[in-house]
Chains A and B, each alone.
Chain A
Amino acid sequence: MLAGMLAVMSNRGPDSAGFAVYGTGDGDHVKLTLRSKTGLALDDVAGRMSLELGEALRASLRASHLVLTLPRAIEAPARAWLALHRPDIAMVGAGTRMELYKEVGLPSEVVKRFALAEMGGTHGIGHTRMATESAVTTDGAHPFSTGPDQCLVHNGSLSNHNSVRRTLAHDGLKFETENDSEVAAAYLTWRMRQGASIEGALDSSLKDLDGFYTFVVGTESGFAVLRDPIACKPAVMAETDDYVAFGSEYRALVDLPNIACARVFEPEPATVYAWKHT
């Protein structure tokens, strides 16, 4: 369903696309989604790492991305091994259930490359990008992930991202890009690390992030939506007994099952909407 939604939105954001899928997972294992920044092959990574760390791990290669599933106990050594032996590899996302894929190119093509239509899960978040603030690169594509099982997509532009980035970097958050949306993702991670719920973190972003935005944020258990106080950027939601869906406009939702009977509405400005999978 997400694949279809992204394909429809290709003409809103033709530069690049990305998506996070919350599939299966358990508390004992962690999933790392990896990508080579220089395009080096990834097919030997799992074998070498497994051999040297002495632990069996599962690997699934989808186009340019590799998802490693490994025992949580060896997450730190695995990250260290990657940093040492494969400095070309970027950690696209990490978590118990989240897998994150993004790439430059027409969204309908990107979706096909990663075979999104074949994936399953409780929820997923996708984005098609028309870059305004930073370069069209895979690093600049959304979603941005700065914490475990957390990801964010953003439509809009933040004006105080440089000063917020400095504050967050001071508190130990790592940034891969000059992108304003990555700052929003890191800000929420920072707040949640301090103990805030996703709703609380978004609420405080109303005060601390300046600019215009519609954010959609994914966590292990669900997703949340926030629009800036003057609702600069569009958003439409559909709710049925079976699912909740978000799109920048209704066209993204037209192919969803039973959409004709869904409750379709626009989220209010400066109001946090959150859904949890139970």
Chain B
Amino acid sequence: MPTVDLAITPLRELNAMLHKLSPDTNETHWDVRNPQGIHAIAVGVDAPVTIEVGGHVGYYCGGMNKQAVINVTGNAGVGVGENMMSGEIHIRGDASQSAGATGHGGLLVIDGNASARCGISMKGIDIVVKGSIGPMSAFMAQAGNLVVLGDAGEALGDSIYEARLFVRGSVRSLGADCVEKEPTETDLVILTDVLKRAGFNGEVSARDFRLYGSARRLYNFHVDNISSY
């Protein structure tokens, strides 16, 4: 099990080692110490490995992630998991702005709160925030699921295309073209699955959430294409 102390090893060395990993690597468990808020820790990893980071990370941690499971014991700076493709990122503390921005896939779980613009332009990622999210979250969201156990700030889902926004608490205000929707059975099945993948075992019910999504008035939406979403 490789251990990398970022107080000693430069970040570029760590990231280079992670980038070299082959799909069948035996070094499947990495321990990263002393992250000290450094930016771009474990970005661009494309291997089925688990990376444990002990402490607070800076900007863009786990960006562009594919396959890897990244666990951070502390807080995350701006853009955690931005543009991630697959795999899983778990932040035990809070996340700063733009968590999961433009994410295409995979799962991002934040145990604490996420600040402004959580899930901005999300494109298929699933994001679960156990606390609350800040203003302007899911701005121009295109696909995926944003699940919030706490509250959402102002202008949730502004200019949203297609994505499901599940909020259990209150929503300060909805952005342009974002409306509350009656969840279908399919929506509830999807939400239950996301909650399960985020580690819940039935203690949170999908029925406690309200669903928000696109009113589809801001773009040329053709109902014939709905199966594409």
Contacts and interface: CB of A to CB of B under 8 A. Distances in A.
A254 B115 contact: no
Nearest to A264: B75
Contacts of B134: 231, 266, 268-269
A250 interface: yes
A221 B215 CA distance: 51
Interface in A100-135: none
Interface string B25-38: 00000000000111
Contacts of B36: 251, 254
B58 interface: yes
Interface residues of A, number: 14
B78 interface: yes
A251 B58 contact: yes
B56 A250 contact: yes
A231 B97 contact: yes
B155 to A, nearest CB: 9
B136 interface: yes
B136 A251 contact: no
A264 B116 CA distance: 16
Contacts of A254: 36-37, 56
A243 interface: no
Contact of B116 (A249, A265, A269): A269
A234 interface: yes
Given A250-B77, A251-B58, A264-B56, A230 B37 contact: no
Contacts of A264: 56, 75, 93-94
Chain A interface SS verdict (over half)? loop
23 contacts: A230-B135, A230-B136, A231-B97, A231-B134, A234-B78, A234-B97, A236-B96, A249-B58, A250-B75, A250-B77, A251-B36, A251-B38, A251-B39, A264-B93, A264-B94, A265-B94, A266-B94, A266-B96, A266-B97, A266-B115, A268-B134, A269-B134, A269-B135
Interface residues of B, number: 19
A230 B116 contact: yes
Given A231-B116, A234-B78, A254-B37, 14 more contacts: A230-B116, A230-B135, A230-B136, A231-B115, A231-B135, A249-B78, A250-B37, A250-B56, A251-B38, A264-B56, A266-B134, A268-B134, A269-B116, A269-B135
B59 interface: yes
Interface in A213-266: 230-231, 234, 236, 249-251, 253-254, 264-266
A269 B96 CA distance: 13
B59 A249 contact: yes
A236 B74 CA distance: 14
A231 B37 CA distance: 20
A38 to B, nearest CB: 41
Nearest to A253: B37
Interface in B61-103: 75, 77-78, 93-94, 96-97
Contacts of A269: 116, 134-135
Contacts of A231: 97, 115-116, 134-135
Contacts of B78: 234, 249
A185 B59 CA distance: 30
Interface in A44-65: none
Nearest to B38: A251
A268 to B, nearest CB: 7
B37 A251 contact: yes
A250 B39 CA distance: 10
A153 B77 CA distance: 22
